[in-house]
Structure 1
Amino acid sequence: MNRRFFLSAGIAAAATAAATAASANPFANVVMFDPDTREPLIARPHAAVAQANAIPREIVAYHGAEAPGTVVVDTNARRLYFVMPGGQAMRYGIGVGRPGFEWGGSQTITRKAEWPDWRPPVQMLQRRPDLPRYMPGGPDNPLGARAMYLGSSLYRIHGSNEPHTIGQAVSSGCIRMTNEDVVDLYDRVRVGTRVVVLR
């Protein structure tokens, strides 16, 4: 077998494998785009891959100064902590603001909503005039299963219909969680809970 035939056979085999994978995975060829720049991001992985890459929710030791009941967001580590009594915290993986959309400070949860609807803020519509003006709550809504609104700001801690983005800096400043994790956190916090965002 000459080299040209060997390479052609290898390419054909790879194409066959890709076609087989695509037929087994309906999302194999779906490409995600940055909502502002419209540049391609990453291929949306199969649910099993997303699950394998998930950041597990777990109870960890916590030695910070914040009182039990406080939410602490470590944007650099891309982790959120719900402080518990006895020097412990529930730790979650999160997605955070992409470059240019980072922020820090202290806020308070002023509202909670289950399967919230979504109205893109004016600033986002100026960047993305093609976005819908309103989207009802549900599995396709970018706010996911729960949302906790932070002060009078545009920021929220919310679920996501793109769980593969957890652990990345891709949002417009909101704190993203998987739907499973945001439901867990939602049940632990109340309106008035203090949220500390570290940069």
Structure 2
Amino acid sequence: MSRPTTPFLNRRLFLTGSLATAAVPAIAQNGSDSVEYRSKVGSVRRNASSFRALDWEPYFDSTRGGAILVDISSRALHFWNSDRSIYKLYPTSVPLSEELTRRGRTKIVQKVVGPEWRPTPSMKQRNPDWPDYVGPGPDNPLGTHAMYLSWTYYRIHGTHDTRKIGRRSSNGCIGLYNQHIAELFSLSKVGTQVLVI
């Protein structure tokens, strides 16, 4: 014979269920199985609710050659390959301010493994103590891989400073975890279209 449930237990069950549902990140609630970022969402918990799969069609006429969408407000990069059989969603760092942010259409014009880094003239003006040159390696602000865009000084690159991901922390570029930029680097090619919104 079952025991009747008291109002206190009913409230407790309701609250527990409600809290559990609210705690599930938006990405886990999305029905798309093609998003492979799910297992890493805990590392950017403060932005988890912003991460959701997007469709390419509102942003691109086609995905021929691949397509990259960078969403500054959600701090996320979306990638579709040519036939849309691969879709990736990565957390990013974004520019510190609107003044440093550039939006619009561009494309990948060069890909470099082990990039060298030189601060732009405006970076050097803001930070005169910065070195004039940093070679490839763990101190390089561009991480392990960099994809240069048709806009001068703008790149999609890795970072060794993982605290920057999910934040407004760059001087204009889009930063990814090194393991993510390595994967995106292998999927993208020179000529891949990029839209920053």
Both structures adopt the same fold (TM-score exceeding 0.5)? yes
| Residue type of the alignment partner of 1:149 | Y
What CA distance in whole angstroms lies between the structure 1 residues aligned with 2:85 and 2:190? 23
Residues 13-92 of structure 1: pairs in structure 2 closer than 5 A: 52-54=42-44, 61-65=53-57, 66=60, 67-68=62-63, 69-84=66-81, 85-86=83-84, 89-92=87-90
What CA distance in whole angstroms lies between the structure 2 residues aligned with 1:145 and 1:118? 11
CA contact (8 A) 1:63 1:87 kept: no
> Residue 87 and residue 188 in structure 1: after superposition, are their counterparts in 2 closer, same or farther (change >3 A)?
closer
| Residue type of the alignment partner of 1:63 | D
What CA distance in whole angstroms lies between the structure 2 residues aligned with 1:184 and 1:83? 13
Matching residue of 2:159: 160
Matching residue of 1:183: 182
| Residue type of the alignment partner of 1:80 | L
Query: RMSD over aligned Cα, in angstroms?
Result: 2.2
- 3-state SS of the aligned residue for 1:183? helix
Q: Given the two structures, how large is their TM-score scaled by the length of structure 2?
A: 0.68
- 3-state SS of the aligned residue for 1:159? strand
Matching residue of 2:171: 172
> Residue 87 and residue 186 in structure 1: after superposition, are their counterparts in 2 closer, same or farther (change >3 A)?
closer
What CA distance in whole angstroms lies between the structure 2 residues aligned with 1:117 and 1:137? 5
- 3-state SS of the aligned residue for 2:138? coil
Q: Which runs of 5+ in 1 are unaligned?
A: 1-49
Cα distance, 1:62 vs. partner?
Answer: 3.8
Cα distance, 1:142 vs. partner?
Answer: 0.6
- 3-state SS of the aligned residue for 1:53? helix
What CA distance in whole angstroms lies between the structure 1 residues aligned with 2:77 and 2:122? 26
Q: Which runs of 5+ in 2 are unaligned?
A: 1-39
Deviating 4+ runs (over 4 angstroms) = none
CA contact (8 A) 2:67 2:194 kept: yes
What CA distance in whole angstroms lies between the structure 2 residues aligned with 1:131 and 1:141? 12
| Residue type of the alignment partner of 2:196 | V
- 3-state SS of the aligned residue for 2:56? coil
| Residue type of the alignment partner of 2:105 | S
| Residue type of the alignment partner of 2:165 | I
Cα distance, 1:110 vs. partner?
Answer: 0.8
Q: Given the two structures, how large is their TM-score scaled by the length of structure 1?
A: 0.67
What CA distance in whole angstroms lies between the structure 2 residues aligned with 1:86 and 1:115? 29
What CA distance in whole angstroms lies between the structure 1 residues aligned with 2:116 and 2:55? 37
What CA distance in whole angstroms lies between the structure 1 residues aligned with 2:158 and 2:176? 5
